[in-house]
A and B are shown apart, each in its own frame.
Chain A
Amino acid sequence: EAGVAQSPRYKIIEKRQSVAFWCNPISGHATLYWYQQILGQGPKLLIQFQNNGVVDDSQLPKDRFSAERLKGVDSTLKIQPAKLEDSAVYLCASSLESRDTDTQYFGPGTRLTVL
């Protein structure tokens, strides 16, 4: 079974530039998550999709971050414009549903450096 795919793996941009990350979840998984992981901290949930609808985006900085999940499969996360503090690893995860016993499967992440 193929895992969660993410691209690119690494990205370096200057502040105020825009960047986009792509995620392809495990086939058949209805729930997709984007996390931000700053160095030395645990991942923080940014947004959760159930199929192509948003379930939770309470921690997404909506003035600069946006995400979409077209057709309930692939997803993109965009930052525009980027700030220095956005330097982090962006992780995508997916699960069959969203319940207290579901396993989340994580991709390898995209490491973003903002200069």
Chain B
Amino acid sequence: AQKITQTQPGMFVQEKEAVTLDCTYDTSDPSYGLFWYKQPSSGEMIFLIYQGSYDQQNATEGRYSLNFQKARKSANLVISASQLGDSAMYFCAMREGTPQKLVFGQGTRLTINP
């Protein structure tokens, strides 16, 4: 069964608009963490934001915020005021278990239009 599901293969957004990238996860581990990464065409994986399962508040990092809805097992990434440089693949990932295992979704390709 898929542990991390990203249902949007591609998204097109106008520059300066906000964008929400969806991510749902499946785990029975009470302690887990959720990550978002950006992968530009160069291939590097850039860490964006982290949310722990026990964190009471939604994580924020600059223009990035994570909309964490624990009961719905949802961890959507919100990018405010999108920029042309935000065009890239975006991956949601979950860390769970002992030893730690880090698994990824299939990704969403975001394209920002001028």
Are A and B associated in one complex?
A: no
